[in-house]
Amino acid sequence: MNAPIRSETLPLLALDDYPLAATRYHAEQPRAQLLIAGATGVPQGFYRRFAEYAAGRGFNTLTLDYRGIGQSRPASLRGFEMEYLDWAHLDLAAAVDQHRHAERPLFMVGHSFGGHAFGLLPNHNQVAGFYTFGTGAGWHGWMPKSEQLRVLAMWRVIGPLMTRYKGYLAWSKLGMGEDLPLGVYRQWKRWCRFPRYFFDDPQMPGLAERFAQVNTPMVALNSLDDLWAPPASRDAFMAAYGNAPYQARTLDSQAEGLGDIGHMGYFRPAAQRLWDETLDWFELRMAERVAA
């Protein structure tokens, strides 16, 4: 990228008219649209470098803060009511509607929760290709033993005490991300009890059938050193996309010369090779569409 990427902050109304903050990164000669579906508790600014890089390669790119997070957070999270899946059903779905373009294909990149959200979108059929990083089932049993202990302490001790005192999960105090609304915390904690996440929850019927309707080509990349979403966790969740053309990409970040990746390193500048891999895959989808 030789010239600075022009970006603009713009308002985005969710499908229930909740006001969201979004940022569009403009490609000089756009060839496609790209939407970034971020992870739980991660503000849109974390994805800025990737978004700028994608714009430099011709993808008009949109990021957003889900309700309750970053610039879409209310004055106080105490008493703020929402469902975890509102981020998909209402927020991301509106972003798909706003960012799609009549003359250019729309692609989506997910991170962690973003891979969950895609199958929940009412308009996933508007997306021509989906590439997600670090998406897994969330169950502690998929994690290494040392990480299991940390996660269980979070769910069983720290989280209950913190939410009882604050009225929300003050995750920022632990250096783990943005504070989370109480509804997000409670549902996340519940679903992480199950090996297949919310698909195993008897209170959430019909989700498997919804995911089975997805036929968008997709790739799920997980690094071996991703303690929260190792490849086994990915495989347990992504199996729900059973009717989509799907590739699993397991990254040995040390062997491939990328160093430590973990759960967050996919979008740090040291991982630029992965960014090119992703955008190259989207360009291949575009070429296939033209050929068809």
Give me the average pLDDT of each 10-residue run along the chain (292 residues). 84 97 97 98 97 98 98 97 98 98 97 98 98 98 94 93 94 86 97 98 96 98 98 98 98 97 97 98 92 78
Residue 1 counted as domain residue:
no
Residue 108 counted as domain residue:
yes
Question: At a CB cut-off of 8 Å and minimum separation 6, what does 23 contact?
Answer: 7, 8, 9, 10, 44, 48, 51, 62, 63, 64
Residue 55 counted as domain residue:
yes
Q: Which two tokens stand for residue 240?
A: 């729900």
Question: At a CB cut-off of 8 Å and minimum separation 6, what does 13 contact?
Answer: 19, 20, 94
Burial class (CB in 10 A: 0-12, 13-18, 19+), 160: middle
pTM over 0.85: yes
Residue 104 counted as domain residue:
yes
Question: At a CB cut-off of 8 Å and minimum separation 6, what does 202 contact?
Answer: none
Residue 172 counted as domain residue:
yes
Q: How many domains does the chain have?
A: 1
The whole-number pLDDT of residue 25 equals 98
Residue 93 counted as domain residue:
yes
